[in-house]
Chain A
Amino acid sequence: MKIIYFSWLKEILGTSSENIKNIENLIKWLSAKSIKHKKVFLKSKNIRCAINHQIVNKNSKIKNKDEIAFFPPFTGG
């Protein structure tokens, strides 16, 4: 996924674009959103991730229309 910035957004952010290629990039990007996000994504050890309902690891690539889910280990049964 590529995010492009124009005009003053580009100037304030100091970048014209950001690439979110994989889950690791996405976690870093989400962690910068708020303190709560940071707490969840960077400090929690047990976060699992699925892309389109399949469990994946942090290196897994993301495509534009993917559905991405984050969750703790399962506790059903």
Chain B
Amino acid sequence: MIKVQKQKINISEQNKKLLMKKIGAAVNFIGIARPTNNSGKIKYIEIEHYPKMTETKIKEIEIFATKKWKLDKCIIIHRYGKIKPGENIVYVGTATQHRNNAFKACEFIIDYLKVKAPFWKIEKQNNKKIYVKSIKKDENKIKINY
């Protein structure tokens, strides 16, 4: 299941969806907006995305991960719009028979979301607006082409 939404993600609701009877392991990742960065205190972040392309790219990641790590359940939710420090930004949940696959799939999904899905972050500080730059380290993590 994938979703791109403006409102906060209900984490416990998503966790419940992961806990199905036939699974042996469930893993989740929650990305949270930081209160500070190297240049100061962040008032809020603003996430822009490219509708349609965003959903297409997230769906591709979901399909690949589900097949590769034999997932019984895969949930990917990413927010856009104005997000305050401490609020959730992204939720990835994976459920499968064994923990190794659940961990690997979850890590793969968040790594690929960062560099393959068309989202852009702006950090709003008191009088500044900073367009967040992509991190080379994140791009170098991408090894699988699907």
Binding site for B on A (CB under 8 A): 46, 50, 53, 69, 71-77
Contact = CB atoms under 8 A, between A and B. Distances in A.
A76 B133 CA distance: 10
Main secondary structure of the interface of A (DSSP, over half): loop
Interface in B74-90: 78, 89-90
Contacts of A71: 50, 118, 120
A25 to B, nearest CB: 23
Contact of A74 (B31, B90, B117): B117
B123 to A, nearest CB: 10
Contacts, number: 57
B99 interface: no
A75 to B, nearest CB: 4
B56 A53 contact: yes
B53 A76 contact: no
Contacts of A69: 50, 53
Nearest to B139: A73
Contact of A73 (B49, B50, B78, B115): B115
Contacts of B114: 74-77
Contacts of B134: 46, 72-75
B53 A77 contact: no
A45 to B, nearest CB: 12
A77 B132 contact: no
B47 interface: yes
Contacts of B57: 53
A43 B81 CA distance: 29
Contact of A75 (B53, B56, B78, B121): B121
Contacts of A72: 120, 131, 133-134
Nearest to A50: B53
B25 interface: no
